[in-house]
Amino acid sequence: MSSKTLGNTALTSFDVLIIGSGAGAGPVAYLCTKNGLKVLILEAGPNHFASLDDPQNQPVPEHANDELKYQVRSFIDVDTRMDPRAWRTAPSDGDRLSVGDVNGLPKHVGGGMVHADVKMPRFEQQDFMMGTLLGQKVQNANFADWPITYDDLEPYYAWAEVQLGIQGLKGANPFEPPRSTDYPMPPGIPMYLSTLMQTALATSGYTAFPYPTAVNSQPYDGRPACADCGYCSDYGCPTNAKGSTAVTLIRKALLSGNALLLAETRVTKLIMNGAKDTVTAVQCVDPNGNTVQYTASRYVLAASPIEDARLLLLSDLGGPGIGNSSNMVGRNLMFHLQTSCVGIFNDRLHGHRGRTVDHGFADFRGVAASYDPNDPSTALGGIVEISGSERPINEAEYYAEILRLQLKFDGGLFKKLMRQSPFRDRIVVLTMQAEDAPQATNLVDLDPAVVDFFGTPAPRITYSNNAYELAASDYRGKMMVDMTDGNGKGAIFKNAGARWAAVTPRDAIPASAHIMGTLRFGSDPTQSVCDATGKLHDIQNLYCSDGALFPTSSGYNPTMTICALSTWVGANMVFPGQPQMAIQ
Ligand SMILES: Cc1cc2nc3c(=O)[nH]c(=O)nc-3n(C[C@H](O)[C@H](O)[C@H](O)COP(=O)(O)OP(=O)(O)OC[C@H]3O[C@@H](n4cnc5c(N)ncnc54)[C@H](O)[C@@H]3O)c2cc1C
Ligand code: SF4
């Protein structure tokens, strides 16, 4: 059984208290401990790594290639009966449309990175200046520049890439921003379907490249090379080849002797001084269900954007929320709108082997941000991931469902489908992210009636897509699945030799797992919640270090930028005004 109390248990007073242990927490935790600060990490979920704080042994994950454990018995998924979220598209829907899961990430030591397949591209230079580039051109959107540029963040990307162990090929993405360093590791072996699609994409005029990924292509930092086991996305890594913050930065923080991590310890409230400008303690529910308090000099929100905003609102029940003089807490919540296109092939493509996604292309993101509302080709899409499918039980469920819908269930036909395996062994999936327009009306607040297992008000998500990202999705989706001749650059699946291709229906409730915004950072305290270093404008000793800071969403996977920002925030906490000293 893995320990709930990790690190230096002799520590009794703390300089920094971090809420959460995921991508937003790992870099700030390690940088603080490396520079001598005493750090307390509070994590709501359990710990699934034995020996995570043992310097003599590698962590022993409780993870496995086990579809029953993850997909059927929900080993790591949040139990939405205990931890519900309410959902509506607009206030006109009433208090809520449904209660359940809304883009929930697993709650455990290491957060969502543990079971993500950790594709870790950087954002492009333009992604930091969408306010300037798009300004007021997009109706009902709230595009803003980041208070720091790509060049400011570049050294922090480079530092975090080394800590996490990112594989990739410098220069392979024609839209890649300038890099001061090479990737720490070369790309691993590509899947057969990636090489097939790379050729087809070249014929179509696009450039596929090895996806930068936090997965070891060779032994690195005491962890083994990836075995390409095929169970990467949605599964924890059985060998620690995946560089989640749990086995990299959180572990290093614990090994420093300067950190204590308490798992199964859920923060329910920030306790403030009378002026409400300083946090004096946090209130928690401990593993035994008792209410306890912990204190430190400074506090960091790294619980991911929905829970960060919820905590600020819970800490001022009946009021506007802590740190909310701008009335921006919870607003500009962003999820990437994903457009998924499937192609079915005659040949077996073995897409269930490998690292789930090892190649992508960024041509639908491009570099131009000129926008004409009458021309859907100018709305920014995003990077496109190339993958297959990997789960036999999932596959069986699809066929059974289709047979039930089309005919009556036929066992013989079902077995034939399982042997032919169109949805597992002959499928390619192209998934495009898209710039999600920030909207003040897309927000997190507290549901007026729904509470979690502990009686704490649940977060309510009010969200609907802007016409901007819908235009990019419609336009690029049609291009990807066009099977006719003469579409020039469009017909990707046709050029790859697919037999059939289609765009899949959109999620009714967003399920991209890319969660951004709610505490956007900026230099104007009337338009943002946090300043350029991640400190809340209104509060002397409270910081945010995760994707809640993002003013805009880019069209690239967010977690590398979350880690770079966490590094930036930590470096500014350790060396105010000279953050570069922290990463030398
Ligand atoms: C299947 C899947 C695949 C993905 N693949 C990719 C990918 O390839 N690339 C990519 O960029 N992103 C990917 N993502 C998204 C990625 O997982 C997230 O961007 C990332 O994990 C966010 O990190 P975070 O630290 O902000 O939040 P989290 O990972 O959610 O960490 C926050 C932590 O805080 C804890 N916490 C929350 N509330 C409290 C509280 N009140 N008290 C104490 N602790 C609390 C939580 O338990 C959690 O452990 C994927 C997600 C999924 C689900
Ligand atoms: S594909 Fe590699 S990194 Fe992913 S779970 Fe398997 S061994 Fe781990």
For ligand 2, atom 3, name the residue with the nearest CA: 242
Q: Per-residue b/e over 401-439, b at no fewer than 16 CB within 10 Å?
A: eebeeeeeeeeeeeeebeeebbbbbbbbbbbbbbbbbbb
CA angle, residues 14, 18, 19, in degrees to nearest 5: 135
Q: Alpha-carbon distance 190 to 359, whole Å?
A: 8
Which ligand 1 atom is nearest residue 20's CA? 34
Q: Is 229 in the pocket of ligand 2 (CB under 6 A)?
A: yes
- Predicted confidence band of residue 490 (pLDDT cuts 50, 70, 90): low
Atom 8, ligand 2: residue with shortest CA distance: 237
Whether 416 maps to a domain, the answer reads no
Q: State the ligand closest to the CA atom of 235.
A: 2
In the predicted structure, residue 449 carries a pLDDT above the cut 80: yes
Nearest residue by C-alpha to atom 6 in ligand 2: 229
Whether pLDDT at 238 is above 50: yes
Q: What is the pLDDT of residues 291-325, one digit of tens each?
A: 999 999 999 999 999 999 999 999 999 999 999 99
User: Do 216 and 241 meet the contact criterion of CB atoms below 8 Å apart?
Assistant: yes
**Ligand 2 pocket check for 232: Cβ under 6 Å:** yes
Specify the pLDDT at position 372. Answer: 87
Which has more confidence, 348 or 409? 348
pLDDT tens sequence across 547-562: 999 999 999 999 999 9
Asked whether the beta carbons of 180 and 160 are under 8 A apart, the reply is: no
CA dist., res. 154 & res. 87, Å (int): 37
- Whether ligand 2 lies within 6 angstroms of the CB of 31 is answered as no
Residue bearing the CA closest to ligand 1, atom 53: 513
| 190 CB within 6 A, ligand 1 | no
Nearest protein CA to atom 21 of ligand 1, as residue: 112
Is ligand 2 within 6 A of the CB of residue 355? yes
For the chain, what percent of residues have pLDDT higher than 90? 88
Q: Whose CA is nearest to atom 2 of ligand 2?
A: 226
Average pLDDT, the chain: 95
Query: Ligand 1 centre from 548 Cα, in Å?
Result: 12
502 CB less than 6 Å from ligand 2? no
- Number of domains within the chain: 1
The Cα–Cα gap between 325 and 309 comes to 14
In a domain, 417, yes or no: no
> Among all ligands shown, which has an atom nearest to the Cα of 352?
2
Structure-block tokens of residue 536: 């809340």
SS (H, E, C) 379-391: CCCCCEEEECCCC
Tens digit of each residue's pLDDT (9 = 90 or more) over 23-81: 999 999 999 999 999 999 999 999 999 999 999 999 999 999 999 999 888 899 999 99
Question: Residue 230 CA: which ligand 2 atom is closest?
Answer: 1
Q: What is the pTM of this model?
A: 0.97
Ligand 2 atom closest to 356 (CA): 1
For residue 498, tell me if it sits in a domain.
yes
Domain interval for residue 227: 5-389+424-583
| Distance of CA 65 from the midpoint of ligand 2 (Å) | 9
- Rounded to the nearest angstrom, the distance between the alpha carbon of 262 and the centre of ligand 1 is 18
**How does pLDDT run across 524-581, given as a tens digit for each residue?**
999 999 999 999 999 999 999 999 999 999 999 999 999 999 999 999 999 999 999 9
**Dist. CA 537–CA 328, nearest whole Å:** 12
Cα of 64 from ligand 2 centre, angstroms: 10
What b-and-e string marks burial along 73-101, b requiring 16 or more CB atoms within 10 Å of the CB?
eebbbbebeebbbbbbeeeeeeebeebeb
For residue 347, pLDDT over 60 is answered with yes
Lowest mean per-residue pLDDT among 170-179, 263-272, 491-500: 491-500
Predicted confidence at residue 353, as pLDDT, reads 87
Contact assessment for residue 205 and residue 502, using Cβ atoms and an 8 Å cutoff: no
User: Coil, helix or strand for 287?
Assistant: coil
Ligand 2 pocket member 191 (CB < 6 A): no
For ligand 1, the distance from its centroid to the CA atom of residue 24, given in whole angstroms, is: 8
Question: Average pLDDT, stretch 235-246?
Answer: 97
Asked whether residue 568 is assigned to any structural domain, the reply reads yes
Asked if residue 376 belongs to a domain, the reply is: yes
Residue 489 pLDDT > 90: no
Name the residue with tokens 């086995």: 247
C-alpha 239/C-alpha 423 separation (Å) is 28
Pocket lining: 111 vs ligand 1, CB cutoff 6 Å: yes
Q: Is residue 410 part of a domain?
A: no
Ligand 2 mean position, distance from CA 167 (Å): 13
357 within ligand 2 shell (Cβ under 6 A): no
pLDDT one-digit tens code per residue, 354-400 = 999 999 999 998 656 678 888 888 899 999 999 998 789 999 999 99
Residue 419 lies in a domain: no
Give the mean model confidence (pLDDT) for residues 122-146. Answer: 94
**In the predicted model, what is the mean pLDDT of residues 204-222?**
96
In a domain, 412, yes or no: no
Q: How confident is the model at residue 486 (pLDDT cuts 50, 70, 90)?
A: very low
What is the Cα–Cα distance from 137 to 551, expressed in whole angstroms?
16
Distance 163 CA to ligand 1 centre (A): 18
- For residue 86 and ligand 2, the question of a CB distance below 6 A is answered with no
**Residues 6+ away with beta carbon under 8 Å from 304:** 20, 22, 24, 105, 111, 112, 515, 546, 547, 548
Residue whose CB lies within 8 A of the most ligand 1 atoms, among 107, 119, 387, 545, for a mutation test = 107
pLDDT tens column, 396-420: 999 999 898 877 888 999 999 999 9
Query: What pLDDT is attached to residue 366?
Result: 67
Residue 492: which CATH number? 3.50.50.60
pLDDT (0 to 100) of residue 367? 59
